[in-house]
């Protein structure tokens, strides 16, 4: 597996701690686990999250754009997202709870009719190929709707472990949900590859000590080891090359 920009040495100590800032290639072993974010990676629910927040912002007369969503809310948990959206407006805990509940009702309405067609093209084949190669698969998502979305997409059975917004206290960019996912699949973090569409998620993966693959525009992920536009019709070798 070749990755641009960094040089990895063979001992596990150096693997974790030494890298070169010189433009170069390094070789990494094939990961023992691949840990996927869900929203925006395996399916386009990130658009539904945006629409639901936009609906709430419109209700409250708060200006909110897709650009702000991409820069500040993508991958970020419910409470932290609302804190951003409120932009310093003072509200009680009760009002916060009501607004988070309202946003979630808008969101669940939008995902009500999701079907397996909304898995990224070729996504199921990729998951099958990864598992056939003997690599563990897990989900590390901030969303408390993870189980529902996986069920609607009919892909639950392709994962050996699922870590979601109910699994940890500290959300991305904290490493916790990725470390938790690695633990479920019994794999050391240094042997994991994390895949994310949010910069907060890439920061979480790197803080966890994993290799990080960003899905989206290059500029979004200053810390990613590798970036791809999307996961459409990719195979395992595309991820590792
Ligand atoms: C992340 C999404 O996966 O989950 C965020 O990228 C979302 O947009 C977060 O806010 C929390 O999701 P939920 O479903 O628990 O509100
Ligand atoms: Mg995401």
CATH at 170:
3.40.50.1000
Look at the chain and report how many structural domains it folds into. Answer: 3
End residue of a domain, out of 65, 96, 113: 113
User: Taking 60 as the threshold, does the pLDDT of residue 20 lie above it?
Assistant: no
Q: Which residues belong to the active site?
A: 37, 39
Residues 159 and 206 placed together within one structural domain of the fold = yes
Tell me which residue range forms the domain holding 188: 29-43+118-240
133-155 burial, b if ≥16 CB within 10 A, otherwise e?
eebbbbbbbbbebbeebbebbeb
End residue of a domain, out of 66, 95, 113: 113
Indicate which ligand has the atom closest to the C-alpha of 201.
2
Residues 169 and 222 placed together within one structural domain of the fold = yes
Distance between Cα 23 and ligand 1 center (Å)? 35
Residues 106 and 122 placed together within one structural domain of the fold = no
Burial of residue 67, with CB atoms counted within 10 A of its CB: 0-12 exposed, 13-18 middle, 19 or more buried: exposed
Distance between Cα 92 and ligand 1 center (Å)? 22
Comparison of pLDDT for 138 and 15, the residue scoring more = 138
Q: How far apart are CA 160 and CA 180, in angstroms?
A: 13
Distance between Cα 41 and ligand 2 center (Å)? 6
Residues 35 and 52 placed together within one structural domain of the fold = no
In DSSP terms, which residues pair with 215 in a beta bridge?
A: 228
Indicate which ligand has the atom closest to the C-alpha of 215.
2
pLDDT tens for residues 132-178? 999 999 999 999 999 999 999 999 999 999 999 999 999 999 999 99
Residues 138 and 195 placed together within one structural domain of the fold = yes
Top mutation candidate among 78, 85, 203, 214 for ligand 1, by most atoms within 8 Å of CB: 78
Residues 85 and 124 placed together within one structural domain of the fold = no
Q: Kindly report the backbone phi and psi dihedral angles of residue 139, in degrees, each rounded to the nearest multiple of 5, phi listed first.
A: -105, 140
End residue of a domain, out of 113, 140, 157: 113
Q: Look at 4-18, 78-92, 173-187 and tell me which has the smallest mean pLDDT.
A: 4-18
Residues 19 and 34 placed together within one structural domain of the fold = no
pLDDT tens for residues 31-53? 999 999 999 999 999 999 999 99
Residue 13 makes CB contacts below 8 A (sequence gap 6+) with none
- Residues in contact with ligand 1 (CB, 6 Å cut-off): 39-40, 46, 49, 73-78, 81, 104, 141-145, 165, 198
């Amino acid at each position: 597996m070749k990755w641009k920009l960094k040089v990895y040495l063979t001992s596990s100590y150096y693997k974790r701690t030494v890298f070169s800032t010189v433009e170069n290639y390094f070789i990494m072993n094939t990961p023992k686990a691949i840990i996927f974010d869900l929203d925006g990676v395996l399916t386009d629910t990130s658009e539904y999250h945006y629409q639901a927040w936009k609906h709430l912002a419109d209700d409250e007369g708060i200006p909110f754009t897709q650009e702000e969503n991409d820069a500040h809310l993508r991958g970020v948990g419910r409470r932290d997202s609302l804190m951003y959206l409120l932009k310093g407006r003072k509200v009680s805990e009760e009002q916060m709870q009501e607004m988070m509940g309202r946003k979630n009702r808008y969101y669940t309405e939008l995902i009500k009719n999701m079907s397996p067609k909304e898995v990224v093209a070729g996504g199921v084949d990729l998951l099958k190929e990864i598992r056939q190669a003997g690599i563990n698969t897990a989900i590390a998502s901030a969303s408390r709707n993870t189980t529902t979305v996986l069920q609607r997409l009919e892909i639950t059975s392709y994962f050996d472990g699922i870590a979601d917004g109910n699994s940890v206290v500290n959300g991305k960019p904290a490493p916790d949900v990725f470390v938790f996912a690695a633990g479920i699949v019994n794999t050391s973090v240094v042997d994991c590859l994390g895949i994310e569409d949010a910069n907060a998620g890439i920061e979480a993966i790197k803080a966890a000590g994993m290799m990080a693959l960003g899905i989206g525009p290059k500029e979004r992920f200053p810390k990613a080891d590798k970036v791809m536009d999307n996961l459409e019709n990719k195979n395992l070798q595309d991820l590792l090359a």
